[in-house]
Amino acid sequence: MRHSLFSGATYLALLFILSSLLQAQAPLRLKQLSQHGITWHFAHPVQAGRYVNGDWWVLGPVKVERVSPLPSHGRHGSMRNPPCGKGRIQGYDSRIYGYDAKSAARFPLALRPGDSLVSSISVLGSRQKHIYRPINQGSASRSWLRSCAILSCVSKAPTPDSFRPAYVGPKRQHRASSIQWQLLPGVRKLPSSTHPAKFARMFERPWLDHLAGWVGRALHPYENMPDYGRDIALCTGEGALILLQDYSRTELRPLMIPYLQLGIDLFGLQQAGHSWSADGGHGNGRKWPIIFAGLMLKDPAMQKAPGLFSEDLQTAYSRGWNGTPVVFRMAGKGSHESKVPASWDARARKDEIYRRCCTSSVFVAHALAAHLMNATELWNDPAFFLYVERWMTPMHPKDR
């Protein structure tokens, strides 16, 4: 009978840590850097290294001679310091809303310390399924991007345990050695729970999320992230609850590092003026990763997560037709739940479909994570939590 020293999941966790240690060695001098199918080429060897999450940094100033795949005919675009907010401009792919060829990076490209270069690979054939598919298993992603990677230019070599600064917004510095592991509640893990090392793949690549509104769905690279906000919320919610179970730090680390990196990136977007509005499922799932990263990295500004979030904008104190004190509402309108279902028009019936398919159910994991981390006050929206309680404890299915 064969005996294995490590389980497959434990082996993956140890492999991640070993990889991180190797990446943390002294900076290298390289003439090209590759990640996620993208390669940046330099005229001369540059001093480079990797952040704790595996993304590349380069000591600047430098000149990127070219990137492969080569940008061509509105495909495989790159952006230096991409904008966000109301402008909704992107230079990656001409099939995506807001395409502006002038905003695309042109090579050779000079990078100065503080710059972030985001490079992409476009979809050239048929669209593929995104990496997280708990719902609509047979549906293809609606994104026109396959992958993306981020190159950060720095003035001095970061410490080996440094997280990559956000690719948009202020370049706040955080270190893995500052993770507040003692805050985790260590809830007894469920037999059905996915092991952290396996679920880490959902977050190991950058989530490209700087195009506001429903049109941003086409920007989300299918090899990097889910495309629809409902699935984004399911993914960030599941990841959050895995991290709160009683795995060892060694087991949690492969998921913790990229999950915190996501929170850092989302907070950078928010600080630069981005928001996730009340638009059905599209804007869900971004608030908790920011708060959680703020808690785990001891960053008060991130913990407060100021700004507008879909979850808060779509739940409100109001008397519903069935007597409930909290209701669901869509963007720019009152709640259809103030009227009895028999009086609903087509718009109200559509709102009810979105309430059930793409919002209420995906709020649950985020509310539970906030409760388990004693962070409901940081979330700062009691109506949201009361609405989730309503959803989870209906007197009758129609009362949800």
Give, for 154, the enclosing helix (H) or strand (E).
Answer: strand 145-154
Total Cβ atoms within 10 A of residue 345:
10
8-23 helix and 249-271 helix, angle to the nearest 10 degrees: 60
State how far the Cα of 208 lies from the Cα of 219, in Å rounded to an integer.
Answer: 7
Q: Coil, strand or helix: which one is 301?
A: helix
Decide if 24 contacts 53 (C-beta within 8 A).
no
* Whole-number Å distance between alpha carbons of 187 and 38: 39
Answer whether 199's CB lies under 8 Å from 134's CB.
no
Long-range contacts of 338-341 (CB under 8 A, 24+ apart): 341/398
Tens-of-pLDDT digits for all 400 residues of the chain?
444 444 566 655 656 655 655 555 567 899 999 999 999 999 999 999 999 999 999 999 999 999 999 999 999 999 999 998 767 899 999 999 999 999 999 999 999 999 999 999 999 987 777 777 665 555 778 999 999 999 999 999 999 999 999 999 999 999 999 999 999 999 999 899 999 999 999 999 999 999 989 999 999 999 999 999 999 999 999 999 999 999 999 999 999 999 999 999 999 999 999 999 888 899 999 999 999 999 999 999 999 998 889 999 999 999 999 899 999 997 667 799 999 999 999 999 999 999 999 999 999 999 999 999 999 999 999 999 999 999 999 765 666 6
What are the residues whose beta carbons fall under 8 Å from the beta carbon of 92, sequence distance 6 or more?
76, 77, 78, 79, 99, 104, 118, 120, 122, 145, 148, 219
- Domain spans in the chain, listed from the N-terminal domain onward: 28-304
pLDDT recorded at residue 100: 97
Q: Helix, strand, coil proportions of the chain in percent (round to 5)?
A: 35, 20, 45
